[in-house]
Amino acid sequence: MLEEIKNIDKKYYMNTFGDRLPVCFERGDGIKLYADDGRIFYDFLGGIAVNSLGHSHPKFIERLKEQLDKLIHTSSLYYIENQAKLAQKLSESTCADKVFFANSGAEANEGAFKLAKIYFHKQNKDKYEIITLDKSFHGRTLATVAATGQPKYQKPYKPLTPGFIQVPPNDFLAVESAITDKTAAIMIELIQGESGVHLMDRDYVKKLRKLCDEKGIVLIFDEVQTGMGRTGYLFAHQMYGVEPDIFTAAKALGGGIPIGALCAKDWIASAFEPGDHGTTFGGNPFATAAGLAVFDIYEEESLVQNAKYMGEYFKRKLFDIKAKHDSVTDVRCAGLLIGIEVNTNISKDVFNALFNKGFLTSLCGGNTIRIAPPLIISEKDIDMFAEELDIILTEREKQ
How far is 318 from 321, CA to CA, in rounded Å?
5
367 shares its domain with 232: no
Based on the residue annotation, tell me whether 37 is a catalytic residue of this protein: no
Last residue within a domain, chosen from 301, 325, 357: 301
**What pTM was estimated for this model as a whole?**
0.97
Q: Can you give the CATH number for the domain in which 39 is found?
A: 3.90.1150.10
Q: Say yes or no: 313 and 260 in one domain.
A: no
In 3D space, the residue among 65, 48, 99 whose CA is nearest the CA of residue 286 turns out to be 65
Q: Which of 43, 222, 245, 381 is catalytic?
A: 222
CATH number of residue 189's parent domain: 3.40.640.10
Q: How many domains does the chain have?
A: 2
* Per-residue burial over 12-21, b = 16 or more CB atoms within 10 Å of its CB, e = otherwise: eeeeeeeeee
Q: Is residue 65 part of a domain?
A: no
Same-domain check for residues 126 and 96: yes
pLDDT of residue 89: 98
Of 251, 275, 301, the domain-final residue: 301
Is 10 part of the annotated catalytic residue set?
no
Instruction: List the chain residues with pLDDT less than 70.
Output: none
Q: Say if residue 306 is in the same domain as residue 186.
A: no
Q: Are residues 249 and 392 in the same domain?
A: no
Instruction: Please check whether residues 95 and 51 belong to one and the same domain.
Output: no
Residue 101 catalytic? Answer: no
Structural domain harbouring 317: 2-56+302-398
- Report whether the peptide linkage leading into residue 285 is cis, meaning its omega lies within 30 degrees of zero: no
Q: Which of 281, 301, 321 is the last residue of a domain?
A: 301
> What is the tens place of the pLDDT at every residue in 313-353?
999 999 999 999 999 999 999 999 999 999 999 999 999 99
Residue from 89, 117, 127, 251 carrying the catalytic annotation: 251
Out of 41, 100, 113, 137, pick the active-site residue: 137
Q: Are residues 253 and 285 in the same domain?
A: yes
The predicted structure's pLDDT at residue 234: 98
